[in-house]
Amino acid sequence: MRCYSSADIRNVAILGHAHSGKTCLMSAILRTAGGAVANGRSDSGGGATFYDEEEVARGMTMANAVAMAEWDGVKLNLIDTPGFHMFVHEARAAMLPVENALVVLNAQTGIEPVTETTWSFADEVSSPRIIVINQVDHAKSAAREEMLERLRARWGRQVVPVQLPIVDESGFHGVIDLVSMEALFYRLDGDGRGSVGELPNAFAEDARIAHEALVELVAEGKDELMDEFFALGTIPQDHLVEALHEAIREDRIFPVLYVSALRNVGTDHLLDFLKVYAPSPKERAPFATRRQVRHGGNGTAAVTDSVETVMRNVDDREPATIYVYKTLVDPFAGRLSYFKVISGCIRSEITLENYARGESERLVHPGVMQGRRLLEVAELHAGDLGAVAKLRVTQTGDTLGVKGQEVLMEPVPVPEPVMTYAIEPRSRADEDKLSPALHKLMEEDLLLRFFRDPQTNEFLLAGTGQLHIEAVVARLRRRFHVEVALKAPKVPYRETIRASSVGHGRHKKQSGGHGQFADCRIRVEPLARGSGFEFVNDIFGGSIPRHFVPAVEKGIQESAARGHLAGYPMVDFRAVVFDGSYHEVDSSEIAFKMAGRAAFRACMEHAKPALLEPVMRTEIEVPEECAGAVIGDLNGRRGRIQGMGSTVSGTLIHAQVPLAEMLSYGTALTSLTQGRGCFRMEMDHYDFVPAAISEKIASGATRMAASEPED
């Protein structure tokens, strides 16, 4: 296929809430541009970017997908992003490789929770936003003016239509271009290419008013345009086109267009609009990269490292640099790396250095993605999006470039997982395949975590929520033929004591020949939280020979590891052995270990053992109007509010909450905030479990036998 220069490329991320029609719009664009693409409805499994078996089965996009369209001398790289809140981090990752955000709204519902979230992602990087109102043909679509008022109330008066929809008794079948003041009419379910016709009289006055509002907003703040506007009463079309392009690039205007992706109405005008008004990579501000600089080392000064910022222009003349923004792992084809050409020109067989990993990678037959297909190209210029197969060590977030020109792009921040499940292989063969398969999926999904809990010995899988983890389990089965079961993870409770106690342990056994004898007295004392276990030898007079004392300690530790109340490890106590007796012949290390166990159990009868639970330090970010409901829910979860603060997007709540109450919190927070809330948590400390809950845990736990077997 043809190679495109930086000025002839448009990189666009398609954002919006679930079921706003993003994937369907992507397919309509590709059909109109000449690609033979199936209908992109998520309930039909069609579309160039809707090919993953799990996505088709669930009827939703779960990961970014890339496709390309060629339109009138311009190449459009399109990234279809998920609209479900659980996968919204993918939309954030799509912001780095693109220069434009196409925000798709459902004409029936307008701004929805994920719409706001993805809008904020574009706002963080000052990406131009183009609003597309989809499903205008739906019977329950909101009135045009009502919808515009909602948008302006939320995003400001910069929201301005550059089109008017032609909706009459025949339905939605055309648009009016408010720049050229031409009407375009479409055949429903056609090729998406409209024909210019006479402006309908019924829409003439509305079009005139909307045109004047557009001209006035574009001219605002530009003295030369305002002078022209006041002198002529308008702005000539060529000047208006140039000024509108500049206003969109500078984020001063959020243009509104109307389409029906399903019926393929308005698609060609959207493509024309992106060609003329959407900024190219050439117009993007330079990328800020990091370079590590070493100072000293000449024998007189110490060697020190510092980091300096290097601005890298999107230019073919700069050193070749690429940033890997996505990885796809196929069990047969291997790893496929999606990249953004930051600078330079990328050709087949080029060798680049992976700056983060210190190894060279050879790019063999790089190309562009068309859904799941890799189309080979001769070269990729600065600003373009490409992909290459079978890089050896490169992962998502890595920067590659010419050796000696080391710079690092700042990776897109990835949120921490919010829900954890225990994962259990169904067979030994599944257990052998589980770890390699999950590590391949973790290359694709940076938010996925897989680890073993050292206390419960469970395999744990952490993600954004139940749906996310269930999708991972389904991919394990489909791609790698690994069968696993999910269950709630065990809470790593611990046990401790509240009071000091003295216990006596005696082990005596005679069965012919040498017997077994050991006798010891110990004292247990509570310690401060987090102190662990201490052992003190307070034997005087040789009542227990010195070489048998470690055996007593070992017996105490073994019993403490099995707990007393509910089988959880005993922590934060001191054990002091202060007296005992022995037999010259029958005493042994094993005997004193058994005596130590018995003494520990005797102490527990009067030491007031208690359960401890992990308490998490939690930060919850929610819209301001949801803060009261979230705080009430936290109180019901035994949470302690530590403070509150304001953020750009709402309210930040600091709290301490028991882990047992947070296992399913992601689902609850989604319900309370309509998917607009997020939270982070980390271990803070252990604290006592309330008596009523402690009794319930102890009664339901598997306890160790009343008397341990003797060796």
Q: 647, 639, 655: which is closest to 621 by C-alpha?
A: 647
The mean pLDDT of the chain is 89
CA dist list (Å): 244 to 237, 404, 440: 10, 42, 46
pLDDT confidence of residue 44: 46
What is the residue type of 541? Answer: G
| DSSP label at residue 44 | T
Q: How far apart are CA 359 and CA 612, in angstroms?
A: 47
- 22-32 helix and 267-277 helix, angle to the nearest 10 degrees: 90
- Assess contact for 105 and 87: CB atoms under 8 A: no
Contact 471, 465 (CB under 8 A): no
Average pLDDT over residues 231-244: 87
Does 144 have pLDDT greater than 80? yes
pLDDT digits (tens, 9 = 90+) for 152-206: 999 999 999 999 999 988 899 999 999 999 999 999 999 999 999 999 999 999 9
- 364 Cβ partners below 8 Å, 6+ apart? 348, 349, 388, 389, 390
Q: Which of 98, 119, 207 is nearest to 162 (CA)?
A: 207
Residue 296 has a pLDDT of 61
> Can you tell me which residue has the tokens 């210190």?
358
Q: 340-358 pLDDT, tens per residue? A: 999 999 999 999 999 989 9
Q: Running DSSP on this structure, what letter comes out for residue 159?
A: E
pLDDT at 711: 40
Q: Taken in order 14, 19, 23, 28, is the CA torsion positive or negative?
A: negative
Q: For the domain 288-401, what is the CATH superfamily, name and number?
A: Translation factors (2.40.30.10)
Q: Are 551 and 592 in contact (CB under 8 A)?
A: yes
Q: What is the pLDDT of residue 222?
A: 79
Q: What is the pLDDT of residues 36-68, one digit of tens each?
A: 554 545 444 456 777 888 888 888 889 999 999
- Boundaries of every domain in the chain: 8-281, 288-401, 419-487, 494-607, 611-697
Tokens describing residue 53: 């078996």
**Side chain identity, residue 588:** S
0.75 cut: is pTM over it?
A: yes
Side by side, the strands of the sheet bearing 171-177 are 163-168, 171-177, 182-185, 195-197
Please give the full DSSP string across 298-334, using - where no structure is assigned.
Answer: SSSS--EEEEEEEEE-S-TTSPPEEEEEEEEEETTTE
Q: What is the third-level CATH fold of 494-607?
A: Ribosomal Protein S5; domain 2 (3.30.230)
With beta carbons less than 8 A apart as the criterion, state whether 678 and 92 touch.
no
The superfamily CATH assigns to domain 419-487 is Elongation Factor G (Translational Gtpase), domain 3 (3.30.70.870)
Q: Taking 90 as the threshold, does the pLDDT of residue 500 lie above it?
A: yes
Q: Using 50, 70 and 90 to split pLDDT, how confident is the model at 512?
A: low
pLDDT band at 501 (very low <50, low <70, confident <90, very high): very high
Radius of gyration of the chain (CA): 33
Answer yes or no: same fold for 288-401 and 611-697: no
Q: Are 523 and 578 in contact (CB under 8 A)?
A: yes
Q: Please state which architecture CATH assigns to domain 8-281.
A: 3-Layer(aba) Sandwich (3.40)
Residues paired with 377 in a beta bridge: none
- pLDDT tens digit sequence for 437-457: 999 999 999 989 998 887 778
Exposure class string for 424-456: b at 16+ Cβ within 10 A, else e:
ebeeeebeebbeebbebbbbbbbbbebeeeeee
Write the DSSP assignment of 628-667 as a string of letters.
Answer: HHHHHHHHHTT-EEEEEEEETTEEEEEEEEEGGGTTTHHH
> How would you classify residue 481: left for phi > 0, otherwise alpha for psi between -120 and 50, otherwise beta?
left
For the beta sheet containing 9-16, the strands, ordered from the edge strand earlier in sequence to the opposite edge, are 65-71, 74-80, 9-16, 100-106, 129-134, 254-258, 159-161
Q: Which two tokens stand for residue 388?
A: 């290459």
Per-residue pLDDT, averaged over 515-539, amounts to 93
How far, in Å, CA of 159 to CA of 301, rounded? 58
Q: What is the distance between the terminal CA atoms of the chain, rounded to a whole angstrom?
A: 77
DSSP for 559-615, written as a single string: HHHH-SSSSPPB-SEEEEEEEEE--TTT--HHHHHHHHHHHHHHHHTTS-EEEEEEE
Instruction: List CB contacts of 250: < 8 A, sequence separation 6 or more.
Output: none
Identify the sign of the CA torsion 369, 374, 376, 379: positive
Q: Average pLDDT, stretch 274-299? A: 83
Asked if residues 706 and 632 have their Cβ atoms less than 8 Å apart, the reply is no
Write out the two tokens for 520: 């010891």
State the amino acid at position 247 in one-letter form.
A
**DSSP letter assigned to residue 438:** H
CA dist list (Å): 585 to 164, 514, 710: 102, 7, 19
8 A C-beta contact, residue 626 and residue 672: yes
Fold adopted by 611-697: Alpha-Beta Plaits (3.30.70)
Q: Tell me: pLDDT of 292 over 80.
A: no
Residue carrying the six token digits 């706002």 = 123
Instruction: Give strand pairing partners of 576.
Output: 523, 536
pLDDT at 297: 58
Contact 386, 428 (CB under 8 A): no
CA 658-663-668 angle, to 5 degrees, is: 105
Distance, CA of 113 to CA of 623 (rounded, Å): 10
Angle at 210 between CA 209 and CA 213, to 5 degrees: 90
Q: How many other CB atoms are there within 10 angstroms of residue 25's CB atom? A: 28
Which candidate, 264, 274, 369, places its Cα nearest to that of 38?
A: 264
Q: Which two tokens stand for residue 78?
A: 């399109």
Closest alpha carbon to 63 in 43, 48, 84:
84
Provide the CB-side half-sphere exposure for 413 (13 A, CA).
5
CA atoms of 448 and 439, how far apart (whole Å): 9
In whole angstroms, give the CA distance from residue 213 to residue 686.
62
Distance from C-alpha of 428 to C-alpha of 450, rounded to nearest angstrom:
18
Q: Which amino acid is at 181?
A: M
Give the torsion through C-alpha atoms of 105, 111, 116, 120, to 10 deg.
60
Q: For 97-114, write each residue's pLDDT tens digit.
A: 999 999 999 999 889 888
